[in-house]
Amino acid sequence: MPQPLYRQVAEALRQKITSGDVPPGAQLPSEPELEKRYGVSRNTVRLALTALANEGLVESRQGRGTFVRDRITFTVLASAEEGGSAGHGKDAFVAAVTVHGRKAEQVDFRMEVRTASPEVAARLQVDEGSLVVVRRMRRLIDGRPWSIQESFYPMDVAEGTRLMSPTDISYGTITEMARHGHTQVGYRDEVLSRMPTHTEAAFLGVGTGVPVLEMFRTAYSTERAIRLTINVYAGDSTQLAYEIGDVVAGQEAAQSTEAS
């Protein structure tokens, strides 16, 4: 007995999906149909489909069927926000996405004042329970939900600035902070992977079995931590890229070799 039955069925279906035989968005045969085709019981069929759903390959919708997930992936160059240089007139996200010919939207702006949770307090170097300003938004690419962002500011940084208003700041929040004496000179990102909460899954439009990529970005001036941004991305449609040191020389050298 090589592989268990349900894994053989899963492998057969996986093959059809990755080979393009069943293209993204298409519907798989129904469960009774798969029973007959592979000569197994329905529970075994469901074990196979569960495995594929857990890999993010397919998604089942009650009463409708099981479909091949259509994954578009978008890469964010997360190391590009050097110091304050990205805040030149337009939001970095919109600029980056637009470059790729996609339509970027930022919706559902919200501003709240909360007390700092332990996680937030530690990163912002403020006391737990002290007041912080939270700015929330959701981001869409080509009309599809893509990420949830929350930015936390120490109250004394946000006070008296446009950060207190629940609207987009067209020239960028980094510039707004710099105008008030808080110039960003660097940041630290912490990236982790986890399963989404029910709410997150609902907004990001992912079924169960698709993880999220969570990024904590703590921004610093030469004096202190001035902002914490938490981004939650749909895991299977996002890549974060970081370029450290000199990568341009090696990439350009290769290109010129090709060209010659």
Binding site for a copy of itself (CB under 8 A): 7, 43, 50-51, 54-56, 73, 75, 78-79, 81-83, 125, 184-195, 197-198, 208-213, 218, 220-226, 235-236, 238-251, 253-254, 257
**Comparison of 168 and 207: residue with beta carbon closer to a copy of itself:** 207
In this structure, which long-range contacts are made by residues 199-202, counting pairs with CB atoms below 8 Å and at least 24 apart in sequence?
Answer: 200/148, 200/232
Residues 107-136 that bind DNA (CB under 7 A): none
**From candidates 13, 17, 44, 104, binder to DNA by CB under 7 A:** 44
Does position 7 bind DNA by CB under 7 A?
A: yes
Task: State the minimum distance, in angstroms, from the CB of residue 47 to DNA.
Answer: 6
Task: State the minimum distance, in angstroms, from the CB of residue 237 to DNA.
Answer: 20
Task: State the minimum distance, in angstroms, from the CB of residue 194 to a copy of itself.
Answer: 6
How far is residue 112's CA from residue 137's CA, in Å, rounded to a whole number?
12
How far is residue 153's CA from residue 136's CA, in Å, rounded to a whole number?
12
**Comparison of 13 and 219: residue with beta carbon closer to DNA:** 13
The two beta strands, 144-154 and 186-194, are unpaired
**From candidates 28, 104, 124, 133, binder to DNA by CB under 7 A:** 28
Does position 25 bind DNA by CB under 7 A?
A: no
Neighbours of 164 (CB within 10 A): 14
* From DNA, a copy of itself, none, interface partner of 250 (C-beta below 5 to 8 A by class): a copy of itself
Identity of the amino acid at 40: V
Task: Find out whether 136 and 103 touch, Cβ atoms under 8 Å.
Answer: no
**Comparison of 106 and 183: residue with beta carbon closer to a copy of itself:** 183
For residues 210, 215, 216 and 222, what is the CA-based torsion angle, rounded to 10 degrees? 180
Structural element, H or E, at residue 11? helix 5-18
Q: For residue 199, what are the contacts with CB-CB under 8 A and spacing of at least 6?
A: none
- Residues forming contacts to DNA in the complex (CB under 7 A) are 1, 4-7, 28, 30-33, 39-44, 46-47, 60-66
